[in-house]
Structure 1
C-alpha cells in the first residue's frame, strides 16, 4: 500500500511528501502522535534542499569564473608566442622559440584542456625562471604567472564544487532511504491502529501515490514513486 520514493528523488519533493504525511497524521487524534517524526523529516529535507541549491549555485559561479580565466589565459599565451617569435625574427627553429615551443606551439596549447593548460603554463614559467633577469622573463613571468595561477585556482574551485555536489547527492539518497524505511514502519503502525480499515490506512499514505498525467479539471495526484 505504501509507495516508496524513487532513489533519485530530490530533497525538496521528498520533503513536500513528508510535510503532507505529517499534516494528515496531525489531523486525526488517533494518529497525531505519529506526526512529529514526519515534521522532523520535513525539516531535514528542507535543510538538504537549501544546501543543495547553495552548492549548485556555488558550482555555477565557479564554472563562470573558470570560463573567464580560461578566456584570459588563451590570449596571453598567444601574445607570449608572438613575442617569442619576434625575438627570433620569425624563425621557429632557433632559440628562444625552441626553448619554449619545442613540443607544442602557442596555438596548440590554447586548445588543451584546463589541467593541461595549467601544466603547460607552469613549464613555461619554470623555463623563464632559469634566467629571471632576461627581458622575456621580466615581461612574461608575472603575466603568465597571473593568468596561470588564476586558471589553476578556479579549476580547483570547480573541482571542489563538483565534490561538494556529489556529497550532497549522497546525503539526499540517504535521506530518501530513511523516508522509505519510515514509510514501511508507518504503514505497519497504521494497520495496527486501524485493523480491517485499508481505506483509512491508505488515506494517510495518499501523498506517496505515483503521479499520473492530468487533464484540465482533474484532481491533483500524488508524487511519483515506486511500489514497496
Structure 2
C-alpha cells in the first residue's frame, strides 16, 4: 500500500518528493511515460512554495508596519491626554477632560486592541470637530487623524495579508490531496507494469516513505529501502 503525504506537509517538501518520483520513473524505460505528470506536480509545488514565501514576507512587513503605527498611536494618545489635562487646569472632573475621557483614561486607551483604538481615535476627532477653532482642536485634529488613519490602514493591510495566507493554505491542502490521488493511481499503474514484483513497485515510491535517522555513510535512506 502506497504511503500518502501528510495533509500538513509543506508544499516545498511535497514538490521535492514529486521531483524524486519523476526521476525514479524517468530512469526506467518502462515507466518513463509516467514521469511528465510528476514533473508538473513538482513544478506546481515549487510555485506554491514561492507564493507562500512571498505571502509570509508580506505578512511580516504588514505586522511590522502595524507595530510601529500602534506604538505611534499610543504615544500620540498619551501626549493628547497630557494636553487635555493641562487645558483642564490639571483637573479630571471638568471640561475639556470630561469631554474626551468619559469612562476611559488615556492609559486605558493605549491598552485597547487595534480596532477599538481606531474607534476611539475617531470619537476623539469627532469631539474635537465640535469646536474646530480652539487651540486643542487646531493642534490635535490633524495629528490624531493622521495617527488613526495610519493605524487603520496598516491594520487592514495585515488582515488582507492574513486572508491571503489562509487562502494559500487551502491551495496547498488541495495540492497535497491531488498528489495523494496520483500516488494511488501510480501504484496501480506500477502493479500492472510489474506484477508480482512488490519491491520493484515500492522502489518508485520510496520518496514517499518517512525518512529514517542518518545512516553510518551519511545518507538518510527511506525505511525499507535496503536491498
Mapped partners of 1:45, 1:191: distance in 2 = 26
Q: How many residues align?
A: 223
Mapped partners of 1:131, 1:216: distance in 2 = 80
2:136 matched residue in structure 1: 136
Contact kept, 8 Å, 2:52 with 2:168, in 1: the verdict is: yes
1:52 matched residue in structure 2: 52
1:190 matched residue in structure 2: 190
Mapped partners of 1:118, 1:216: distance in 2 = 60
1:102 Cα offset (Å)? 1.0
Q: Please, what TM-score do these two structures have when normalized by structure 1?
A: 0.95
1:199 Cα offset (Å)? 0.9
1:66 and 2:66 are equivalent in the alignment: yes
Contact kept, 8 Å, 2:88 with 2:95, in 1: the verdict is: yes
State the structure with bigger RCO (CA 8 A, min sep 6), 1 or 2: 1
After superposition, the C-alpha distances for 1:77-97 in whole angstroms (9 at most, x for unaligned) are: 111001011011100011100
Mapped partners of 1:58, 1:86: distance in 2 = 42
Deviation above 6 Å: which 4+ runs of structure 1? none
Mapped partners of 2:161, 2:8: distance in 1 = 20
Mapped partners of 1:104, 1:11: distance in 2 = 48
1:220 matched residue in structure 2: 220
Mapped partners of 2:216, 2:163: distance in 1 = 42
Mapped partners of 1:58, 1:170: distance in 2 = 18
- RMSD in angstroms over aligned alpha carbons? 1.2
Mapped partners of 1:162, 1:120: distance in 2 = 24
Where do 5+ consecutive residues of structure 1 fail to align? 224-228
2:209 matched residue in structure 1: 209
Q: Please, what TM-score do these two structures have when normalized by structure 2?
A: 0.95
Mapped partners of 2:218, 2:140: distance in 1 = 68
Mapped partners of 2:222, 2:7: distance in 1 = 17
Mapped partners of 1:215, 1:100: distance in 2 = 70
Mapped partners of 1:17, 1:214: distance in 2 = 18
Contact kept, 8 Å, 1:209 with 1:221, in 2: the verdict is: no
After superposition, the C-alpha distances for 1:99-118 in whole angstroms (9 at most, x for unaligned) are: 00012000110111111111
After superposition, the C-alpha distances for 1:151-191 in whole angstroms (9 at most, x for unaligned) are: 11111111111111111111000000000000000000000
Mapped partners of 2:199, 2:219: distance in 1 = 18
Mapped partners of 1:187, 1:142: distance in 2 = 67
2:147 matched residue in structure 1: 147
Q: 1:48 to 1:127 in 2, by over 3 A?
A: same
